[in-house]
Chains A and B, each alone.
Chain A
C-alpha cells in the first residue's frame, strides 16, 4: 500500500528552496529519520518478507537453509483460494467484524448520550465504563470463561436457577452460541472506545440549536434523530473505519476465548494455526497477504462510499 507513492516525487515541480527551508529540511529529517528507519525495520521489511514467502513453498527447514531464496511458485495462492476453509473463515471474520463494529459503536453512542447531563457520580461512572477497554485482554477473557462455564459459571447458575433453563449452556463450545458470545464479548470490550470518542464530541456540541429545537416543540426522539445524530456523523464515520480495521485484524480475543473452535475460526486465528500447527509458512503468508488485500479493497470501497455520501 505504501510503496506506490514513491515514483510521484520526481514529477513534482522543483521550487527553489530558501535558506530556512533548507535548514528545516535537514533538521526535519534528523527528527523523522530514526522513526522512519525503525518503522521500515519492524513493519515494512516484515511485510515485504511475508510477500516474498507467500510465493514460496517453504517449510521451516527451507527457510533456515535458503533464507529468502526458495523456488518461486503460485501454489500457495491457488491452494488457499480453492480451500473452502479459507472462504469460511473469511465469512466468519466479516460477520464478526460487522456485528461488533455496529454493536460497539451503537452502545458507546447511547452510553455517551445518557451521560450528557451532569449527575452525581458521573465522573466515577465514566471511569468505570472504560475498564473493559484498558484491562488486559487475557485477564478479561479468563474471567468471562469462568463466568460462562457450564458447570460452575455464574451465568449458567443464574440461567438454570432463575430463568428456567433446563441445563447449563456451553456458551463457548457450541456452534451458534460461540460466535454470538465472542461478538458480545468484543462489544463489551470495545464499546468504551466509541464511548470516549462520542463523549468528547458531544461535549464540543453547541447547545443552542437544541434549545431552539426545544422551543419549537421537538420531542427528545426528534432531537436525537434530526439535531444530534447529524452532527455526530463525522465521528461515526471515523469510528466505523477504525473499528472495522481493528476488528478485521483481531486475533487474541477469539484465540483466548474459543481457540477458533465451534464456528469461530476467524482469519487471523487460521493464519496462526497454519503457522504454528501445520508449520506451512507459505500458506500462512499467502493467507495473510490475501487478508491485507481484502482489507485494502474493502477500505477503498468504504472510503469511496462515505466520500460520495459526504458530497451529495
Chain B
C-alpha cells in the first residue's frame, strides 16, 4: 500500500513536471521569436538575458520594412506571402480534385488494377524527396522547362497527394457502404454518390486534409530552393526568408519579424481547424 501511495504521488509530480516543461518548451521559442523581432541587436548584445522588449521603444517599423517592397526600401515579404499563398492554394485545390475521387474509388470499388495502385501508393509514400529533387532540378535548371510558380505547384502535388490519399482512405473506410448500395439501387452513378453523399458526409475530413496539404505547401523548402533560387520575383516565404538570412546586412529583428509573419497564417488556420486536423491525421490509427 505504501508503494502504491508513493508511486501515485511520484507519478503525479512527474506528470506535472513534464507537462510544465513541454508547455514552456513549445511556447517559449514562439514567444522569443516575437520578442526578438522588437529588440535591436545592440541592446541584445548588451544584455542577452532579455525576455521582453522595451515597451517604450516598441515600434512596428521593422514589420513595415519587412513587408514593403524592395523599391520602397523594404524586403518584399508581402510578395513572398502572395507567392506562397498562390502556390499553396493551387496545390491544395489540385490535390483535392485529384485525391478525393481516387480515394473514393480505392476504398469503395473493386476494379482491375485497384489493388496494385493501392500498393504503389504506399511505396511512393516511402520515397525520399531528394531522389525526386535531382531530376526536378536538372529538368528545370538545365533543360529550361520554365521556372514558374505553376511548375512548383505541380511539384508540390508529389508531396501532398500520398498523405492526402492516405488520410481520406482511412476515413472513408469507416463510412458504411450500405449507403452507397442503397443509392445505387435508386439509380445513382458512382460520381453522383461520391459528390452528393460521400463528400458531404466526409466534409470535416476533406477540409482537414485540404488544410494539411496547404500547410505542407506553405512550409515547404527544398523544392522552392531548387526551383526558384534564381528568380527573386517568385520566391516563396520559406525561400525568401533563407535568402534574407544569407545576406550579410540583414538584422536579427528583420529575420524574426519575417519568421513571425510566415508563422501567423499557419497558426491561424490551425487554430480554426485544430480538432479536424488531429482527427483526420489519426483516422484509422486506433485500429492499428
Contacts and interface: CB of A to CB of B under 8 A. Distances in A.
Contacts of A220: 7-8, 11
Contacts of B99: 35
Given A5-B120, A35-B102, A248-B128, A281 B138 contact: yes
Contacts of A28: 105, 109, 111, 114, 190
Nearest to A139: B259
A136 B239 CA distance: 11
B26 A129 contact: yes
Interface in B264-280: 266-267, 270-271, 274, 278-279
B215 interface: yes
Contacts of B36: 143, 146
Contacts of B136: 46
B26 A31 contact: no
Interface stretch (A94-102, A150-158, A175-183): A150-158
B228 interface: no
B282 A197 contact: yes
Interface in B228-262: 237-238, 241-242, 245, 252, 255-256, 258-260, 262
A115 B242 contact: no
A31 B165 CA distance: 13
Given A134-B266, A295-B126, A115 B19 contact: yes
Chain A residues touching B, majority SS: helix
Contact of A268 (B111, B130, B286): B130
A138 B262 contact: yes
A139 B285 contact: no
A127 B22 CA distance: 12
Given A24-B190, A146-B252, A249 B29 contact: no
Nearest to B17: A114
B150 interface: no
Interface stretch (B59-67, B68-76, B151-159, B199-207): B151-159
A200 B279 contact: yes
Given A135-B263, A138-B259, A188-B25, A114 B48 contact: no
B175 interface: no
Interface string A17-55: 000110011011111101110110111111101100100
Contacts of A285: 134
Interface string A117-160: 00000000101111110111111101110110001111011100
Interface residues of A, number: 105
Interface residues of B, number: 106
Interface in B4-43: 4, 7-8, 11, 15-16, 18-19, 22-23, 25-27, 29-30, 32-33, 36, 41
A111 B104 CA distance: 35
A132 B36 CA distance: 18
A221 interface: yes
Contact of B117 (A32, A135, A281): A32
B259 to A, nearest CB: 4
B131 interface: yes
A251 interface: yes
A140 B29 contact: yes
Given A135-B267, A142-B256, A63 B109 contact: no
A152 B131 contact: no
Given A135-B263, A153-B48, A291 B130 contact: yes
A60 B142 contact: yes
Interface in B108-128: 109-114, 116-117, 119-121, 123-128
Interface string B127-147: 111111111111101110000
Contacts of A197: 281-282, 285
Contacts of B130: 249, 251, 268, 271-272, 288, 291
Given A50-B135, A64-B142, A137 B282 contact: no
Interface of A: 1-2, 5-6, 9, 20-21, 24-25, 27-32, 34-36, 38-39, 41-47, 49-50, 53, 60, 63-64, 67, 107, 110-111, 113-115, 125, 127-132, 134-140, 142-144, 146-147, 151-154, 156-158, 161, 188, 192, 196-197, 199-201, 204, 217, 219-221, 234-235, 237-238, 245, 248-249, 251-252, 255-256, 268, 271-272, 275-276, 281, 284-285, 288-289, 291-292, 295-296, 299
16 contacts: A1-B127, A5-B119, A27-B189, A31-B105, A31-B191, A47-B131, A64-B143, A111-B18, A131-B26, A146-B255, A200-B279, A200-B286, A219-B7, A249-B130, A271-B133, A272-B222
Given A31-B194, A219-B4, A249-B130, 13 more contacts: A38-B157, A42-B154, A47-B131, A49-B134, A49-B135, A63-B142, A64-B143, A67-B143, A110-B18, A128-B26, A135-B263, A137-B238, A252-B222
For the complex of A and B, 9 pairs with smallest distance between CB atoms = A234-B288, A157-B48, A139-B259, A31-B101, A28-B111, A200-B282, A31-B105, A249-B128, A49-B135
